[in-house]
Amino acid sequence: MKHARPTVLLLAFAAFTLPLMPLQQLLLWLSPAAAARLPHWYHRNVARLLGIDIRISGTRPEKGPAFIVANHVSWLDIIVLSAAAPVSFVAKREVGRWPFFGTLARLQRTVFVDRDRRHTTGRERDEISERLKEGGMVVLFPEGTSHTGRSVLPFRSSYFAAVHDPQIPVIPVTLAYTERWGLPLTTREVPRYAWYGDMDLPPHLWNAVAEGPLTVEVVFHPPETMAHAKDRKRLAAHAERTVRHGLVDALHGSRKTG
């Protein structure tokens, strides 16, 4: 019986997802605007299917351009943020080579970057910049890796230079995994959802789905701009401080959500 929940949910996920993949590809060819909206609708439904209660506070952007920077906890962040707003992502290049999930990432127009090769950074920044020029909302995880979700790692500033227009809003977002089955998520339970280190994805995915309903708080903080911050390092430092303070507030229950 302990395998019944993940088996049923993952089969339902596959049945829901597979027919939409060719549709999304068709929209990418024929209607880019619709292709930007479909993943938003899709991930809202995936979140409901998996029992993820997304509690949003702050003012979420309705349209771009916007550069969203968030702390990174798990592969679940993709579902949560895409359910919260019609976004695309910046991801490490290896993700594009993953079976199935790499295809999903490409269908959502993910920008793949190689964080270990400095000479490719300029080209990748240009690709992000072009996406912003098109009016897109792009999510960057500037910690460079996922973590436990109980702290915030230093933000890398390199890709903040992709904000070509100094007036484009840069929106810090805090992700806080707070409850399981309506009860506070304990430190011991965190690895059941947070994906980091050398954890293998397939068993982690299976176990996370098996664990049951999860509450994630998504805090959209007030936007900052390059024009106000003056340079990318100050902008990154401001975003890091803002996300860290938001995480402390969310985990200690002092922030109201809606």
What are the tens digits of pLDDT across the range 196-227?
888 888 889 998 998 889 999 999 999 999 99
Instruction: Give CA separation, 142 vs 18, 52, 139, in Å.
Output: 31, 24, 9
Closest CA to 166 of 115, 118, 235, 92: 235
* Averaged pLDDT, 134-145: 95
Q: Quick one: pLDDT band at residue 253, thresholds 50, 70, 90? A: low
State residue 257's pLDDT score: 39
Tens digit of each residue's pLDDT (9 = 90 or more) over 222-241: 999 999 999 999 999 999 99
Cα distance between residue 205 and residue 194, in whole Å: 10
Q: Render pLDDT for 39-84 as a digit per residue (tens, 0 to 9).
A: 999 999 999 999 999 999 999 998 889 999 999 999 999 999 999 9
Please tell me the pTM assigned to this model. 0.93
Nearest residue to 173 via CA among 131, 120, 222, 126: 222
The values of phi and psi at residue 82, to 5°, are -70, -30
Domain boundaries, the chain: 4-251
The reported pLDDT for the residue numbered 88 is 96
Q: For domain 4-251, give the CATH number.
A: 3.40.1130
Contact present, 243 and 174 (Cβ < 8 Å): yes
Tell me how many degrees the CA angle 141-142-148 measures, rounded to the nearest 5.
65
